Chain A
Amino acid sequence: AQKVTQAQTEISVVEKEDVTLDCVYETRDTTYYLFWYKQPPSGELVFLIRRNSFDEQNEISGRYSWNFQKSTSSFNFTITASQVVDSAVYFCALSELTGANSKLTFGKGITLSVRP
């Protein structure tokens, strides 16, 4: 069975601090996809990034960066120089590859509060 663990439940930082959100996953599949979604107070989940299991190249996009390590089954997400608008719940998710079904298994989410 697939499982996503986000051990941190709540993180509070002061604006401009860097913050890393941890994600550990379990799967028996050799091919899979990992995602990060953000859920601001409005409630809609917003897609941030998708990574496939063959692509361990880490990426930086503006203030966001991702660290995918297959050896430790981790897919961590870092926000550099955090801003108040980054306050949200962040979900890590894993996709099963069953035909066209992109069913996601989510972690329980990390509530990030960025204080001014």
Chain B
Amino acid sequence: GAGVSQSPSNKVTEKGKDVELRCDPISGHTALYWYRQSLGQGLEFLIYFQGNSAPDKSGLPSDRFSAERTGGSVSTLTIQRTQQEDSAVYLCASSSRIYSGANVLTFGAGSRLTVL
């Protein structure tokens, strides 16, 4: 697609429920990133995919968080047993592999999660 697409744009859920957030990267972009943006915490890295593999999961805050990527394209971020502190905007970004460490990330508009 022309840009990075994320869905849903807004999600309200009850504490304890599971949620899935979807990211459609730019076609041909092999690298995909998930970030979390919350008040007072800024933008926090969650996970990095190269193709379908996730060589860097160091930012996932707990084992309630998981992510997968299929076909080298769409990625799903799953949060199990949601807690109120999970409320945030979850941003997805993708990039092509041109320069090592210097790739420009293209971000989606984010999925705003509210846990009641």
Q: A43-B89, A44-B107, A44-B108 are in contact. Are A100 and B43 (CB under 8 A)?
A: no
Contact A100 B105, beta carbon cutoff 8 Å: no
Query: A19 on the interface (CB 8 Å rule)?
Result: no
B: number of interface residues (CB 8 Å): 27
Q: Is A14 an interface residue (CB 8 A)?
A: no
Give chain A residues whose Cβ lies under 8 Å from the Cβ of B31: 100-102
Cβ–Cβ contact B50 & A102, under 8 A:
no
Asked whether B18 is an interface residue with its Cβ less than 8 Å from the other chain, the reply is no
Given A104-B105, A106-B42: A99 and B110 interface contact (C-beta under 8 Å): no
Q: Are A102 and B45 in contact (CB under 8 A)?
A: no
- List the interface of chain A (C-beta within 8 A of B): 31-33, 35, 37, 42-47, 50, 52, 91, 95-109
Q: With a CB–CB cut-off of 8 A, which chain B residues contact A99?
A: 55, 100-101
Partner of B91 from A45, A96, A107 at Cβ < 8 Å: A45
Given contacts A43-B89, A100-B50, contact A95 B102 (CB under 8 A): yes
